[in-house]
A and B are shown apart, each in its own frame.
Chain A
Amino acid sequence: MSPFSTYIIHLADNALILGHRNSEWTGHGPILEQDIALSNIALDLIGQSRNLYQLAAERLNSLSPERKSITEDDLAYLRDSTEYKNFVLLEQDNGDWAKTILREFYFSHFQLLQYHGLLNRKDPGLAAISEKSIKEIRYHVKWSSEWVCRLGDGTLESHARMLNALDALNPWIPELFIAADYEKEAAESGLALDPSALYEDWLSMVNTVLANATLPLYPPEKKDAFSLSGKNGFHSEHLGYILAEMQFLQRAYPGCSW
């Protein structure tokens, strides 16, 4: 697979896995209004993943027309954990509302910068998806930032829960800014984006909100050891369970239409 195709799948996997996680809240949110809000974000993300998988499938199909053509569902439902390229951050369990909010907050800021950068890369297909997605992501950024403030500066309990969420999720942040080989290659050919260039902007955006929320800034004082790399297929144990659930029907009844 070409570096750029792999890169598109990496973007798609990010959107799908976070969309999947967020959708686990549907029916279980802290209040109806917010149940609906988070379901909307899940729908946005799953919609983004579909657009990206379709783009990847189109490329893969045009490169080898002799093979049976691949669909978005083949990509989502028939790959195993080590072939998935999403960030480890996104597959973490939902935990409480604080952890879910913080994950959305960290990722949506990253995604906003990333998709902005992709607007003027060479691939018109990816630029079009980015442009459409940015409108959605802006709202995710706003919604999650407001919640970070409410929880950080809300009650003693909510503040404590945000501290726990920071502890749980901060170790998974460095991965976002370390380019994978395919990412670097695709970036050098003008198709993708080197994420290390996004760090400073991300840091200042995120820290502005964290400061308002009376929460400790990123990076945490103590650097956590970091070894996993989801974008290279090296995941936490969570992903296996997500896929087992998500892919169950496709795996149990191979070759069926649904």
Chain B
Amino acid sequence: MEKNASSESWPLWEVFIRTRQGLNHKHAGSLHAADAQMAIENARDVYTRRNEGISIWVVESRHIHASAPDEAASFFDPANDKVYRYPTFYNLPDELKNI
């Protein structure tokens, strides 16, 4: 049986927890586990010891794809000046109700 560092290392998982019915799952942290089932159980023991959750998602960290931080400006700034996407952009008379 070969014995090296990687044969005993467990992958890293990201943990998402729904704290209450009706809310989104939110990133809580990460942990190591050998498989998905274990990751869910570890998340239960590590991140919900104080009743912090009612549902858990886990995903192996290597499966997460992220936007690049150095592209943040071209990615997100263009949304800054699109004020017409907000309801307050439109001028309507006060007597108009239920709109």
Q: Do chains A and B touch in the complex (CB under 8 A)?
A: yes
A residues apposed to B, CB below 8 Å: 31-34, 36-37, 40, 142-143, 146, 150, 155-157
Instruction: Name which residue of chain A comes closest to B34, CB basis.
Output: A150
Nearest-CB distance from A194 to chain B (Å)? Answer: 34
In-complex Cβ contact of A146 among B10, B31, B38 (8 A):
B38
Contact B10 A36 (CB under 8 A): no
- A residues near B33, Cβ cutoff 8 Å: 33
Chain B residues whose CB sits within 8 angstroms of the CB of A34 once the complex forms: 42
Q: Is the CB of B1 within 8 A of A33?
A: no
Across the A-B interface, how many residue pairs have beta carbons closer than 8 Å? 28
**B63 at the A interface (CB under 8 A):** no
State the majority secondary structure of interface residues on A: helix
Contact (Cβ within 8 A) A37 B1: no
Measured CA separation A40–B46 after assembly (Å): 10
- 8 closest residue pairs by CB, A with B: A33-B42, A37-B45, A36-B45, A40-B45, A33-B31, A36-B46, A156-B1, A155-B1
The distance in angstroms between the C-alpha atoms of A31 and B49, with both chains bound, is: 18
Q: List 28 A-B contacts (CB under 8 A).
A: A31-B10, A31-B32, A32-B32, A33-B31, A33-B32, A33-B33, A33-B38, A33-B42, A33-B45, A33-B46, A34-B42, A36-B42, A36-B45, A36-B46, A37-B41, A37-B42, A37-B45, A40-B45, A40-B49, A142-B41, A143-B41, A146-B37, A146-B38, A146-B41, A150-B34, A155-B1, A156-B1, A157-B1
Residues of A within 8 A of B32 (CB): 31-33
Q: Which A residues lie within 8 Å of B45 (CB)? A: 33, 36-37, 40
**Residues on B with beta carbons closer than 8 Å to the beta carbon of A40:** 45, 49
